[in-house]
Chain A
Amino acid sequence: MHYVFEPGFFSSGPVHVALAVGTVIAITSAVVGVFTVTRGQSFAGHSLADIATTGGSGAFLIGVNQFWGYLAFGAGAAAFMEMIGIQRRRGRDVATGVVLGAALGLAALFLYLGTQYSSTTGASFSILFGSIFVITPSTVPALIASALLALATVVALARVLLLTSLSPDIAAARGVPVRAVGAAYLMALAVSVALSAVIIGAVLSTALLIGPAATALRLAKSPLKAVITAAGIGVVAIWLGIVLAYDSFYWPPAGRGWPVSFFVVTLIVGGYLVTYLRRDPRRAGQEQAGQEQSIDAEQACSPV
């Protein structure tokens, strides 16, 4: 047993919090991520994490709780992206890129002003990579509440969202307010990403959002199965990552433990690559397209 779990793993307080919070974030990210991947908005998902961290450094500067800075910047950026055209397939990533570029400029300013007043050389680093082992238990309730909010929005919108993602024209013909649905979804994405970025850093946030969902969409045959598979992959990846990071405390070369983000990212990307081994006979002929849409518009319209 000790070869898998180092002594003290189950009695460590930070590990308990990390496991609990990691589970909540992995499930939320995976569910939201299935729609992010289907809608082709991975770049927006990653950008919102980066932008939210800018809000974090801004909040730090004016002495407000960082969590609100993350949320405010994430939501503001989502609104901006929506305004300048993220809903159109063409020009979507340009809209995302421009907002991200401006926000990163602000990040540079905030970090500069921050270092003027205090010595926070490690700030930019911990913002990027976060640390799941240093979560303060008092932020956990606010965290879980906003995760549930994002999750509830996406679940409530699931049917229309799927339809608008796969076939905006059919959705519009059926009287679905395509743009409003897209905006509501983007807001949920911003909240869920801001939340995971504040806890586990922008890198891990993107990995948990995109990786499990993309893997699940390659394997599952229906939207519901994709969501469940994605959540399962996300949870397993973060648990294994935490166990490995805990075990790695005495590993060479530094003897300080390897970062959780490295393990989780490696597990997620490895899992995705494993799906490459499996050839789907149904799609073997159409690999040219290079798309992973095992869900089609027809299925989306039928009851899940």
Chain B
Amino acid sequence: MFTGVMANTWLAATAVAVIAGVTGFFAVLRGSTFAAHAIPNGAFAGAAGASLLGLNPFVGLAAFSVAGALGIAGLSRRSRPDVATALTFVMMLGIGALFVSWSTEYAQEAYSLLFGEVFGVSAGEVLPILGLGAVSIVAIAVMFRPLMLSSALREVAAARGLNTRRLELAFLLIMALATSMTVPVVGALLMFSLMIGPAAAARSLTARPVLAMTLSVVIALVTVWIGIAASYQSNWPLGFFVGVIGAAFFLAGRAYAAARRRLAVRPA
């Protein structure tokens, strides 16, 4: 379970969990959950386009996820964010449908982009993920304070002269970058579950930002590790375990928060 090809799987999944835990924390805090769903999923159109042109799918994924981030941020200037995200997302998927209808043997590849092929990771695929993880974590660390301020107190951030729109765009671009590399390995669906469940659970456990982000990473790691072990044993898809375990952590976090509130009201 820990040898050969599986070593790559563990390494890649660990890196992905760290990336997802960090970016997911801000996605949940900023209310960008829809974008976290739309960018990885919509980017599949790019992979379809790249395969039509005979390019590396990474190129297409990167191009479309960046285009998606730009579209969401651009439309959000004069529309509600959720409407902007929905319209950008359906446009990307519509183009994806067109590309797929032009090619002949894409159905299988589309499946693997949605659900990932985490058990077939090669050493060559691990390196870019590790590098990219480092880049996105450094970027978030650099932007941590302004991001935190603009997420929690948007008006105060604007009053202090922060360009909240540019920050939003920068955050969406980091998310796009992170997903374009991880999607071929873990799949768009798993990336989304891993970003939302652990981060939401961590937020209901503590209100302190750094602690919550750390917890979010830890929960993401535990989720993906349990998921890989269970998936290895049962042969069921990893996406299933990650989705269900992530949701279970969220419910446990909510139950803990509710219990703590009740205790706070009536100190025993």
Contact = CB atoms under 8 A, between A and B. Distances in A.
A98 B100 CA distance: 29
Interface of B: 28, 31, 33-34, 36-37, 76-80, 82-83, 85-87, 89-91, 93-95, 97-98, 100-102, 104, 107-108, 110-111, 114-115, 187, 189-190, 192-193, 196-197, 200, 236-244, 246-247, 250-251, 254
B87 A103 contact: no
A167 interface: no
Given A102-B243, A203-B93, A292-B80, 16 more contacts: A42-B80, A43-B34, A46-B89, A94-B28, A100-B192, A103-B243, A105-B243, A105-B244, A111-B237, A125-B100, A129-B97, A259-B98, A259-B101, A261-B93, A269-B91, A276-B78
A15 to B, nearest CB: 18
Contact of A101 (B90, B94, B247): B247
Nearest to B31: A93
23 contacts: A47-B37, A93-B33, A93-B34, A97-B192, A98-B247, A101-B192, A104-B189, A106-B243, A106-B244, A107-B189, A108-B239, A108-B243, A109-B236, A122-B107, A124-B114, A125-B111, A203-B94, A211-B90, A259-B94, A259-B97, A259-B100, A272-B87, A290-B78
A214 B102 contact: no
The 3 closest A-B pairs by CB, nearest first: A105-B243, A265-B94, A101-B193
B80 A290 contact: yes
B37 A97 contact: yes
Contacts of B97: 129, 203, 259, 261-262
B47 to A, nearest CB: 13
A112 interface: yes
B79 A112 contact: no
A210 B87 contact: yes
A157 B167 CA distance: 40
A272 B88 CA distance: 11
Interface stretch (A24-32, A136-144, A158-166, A250-258): A250-258
A104 B87 CA distance: 21
A272 B79 CA distance: 10
A261 B94 contact: yes
Nearest to A256: B101
A11 interface: no
Given A125-B111, A254-B101, A105 B242 contact: yes
B101 A105 contact: no
Q: Which of A106, A210, A264 has the most CB of B within 10 A?
A: A210
Contacts of A125: 100, 107, 110-111
Contacts of B243: 101-106, 108
Interface of A: 37, 40-43, 45-47, 84, 90, 93-94, 96-109, 111-112, 121-122, 124-125, 128-129, 203-204, 206-207, 210-211, 214, 253-254, 256-259, 261-262, 264-266, 268-269, 272, 276, 287, 290-292
Q: Which of B76, B82, B196, B251 has the most CB of A within 10 A?
A: B82
Contacts of B100: 125, 129, 259
A42 B247 contact: no
Given A101-B193, A112-B236, A292-B79, A203 B90 contact: yes
A37 B77 contact: no
Q: Which of B31, B33, B192 has the most CB of A within 10 A?
A: B33
Contacts of A103: 243
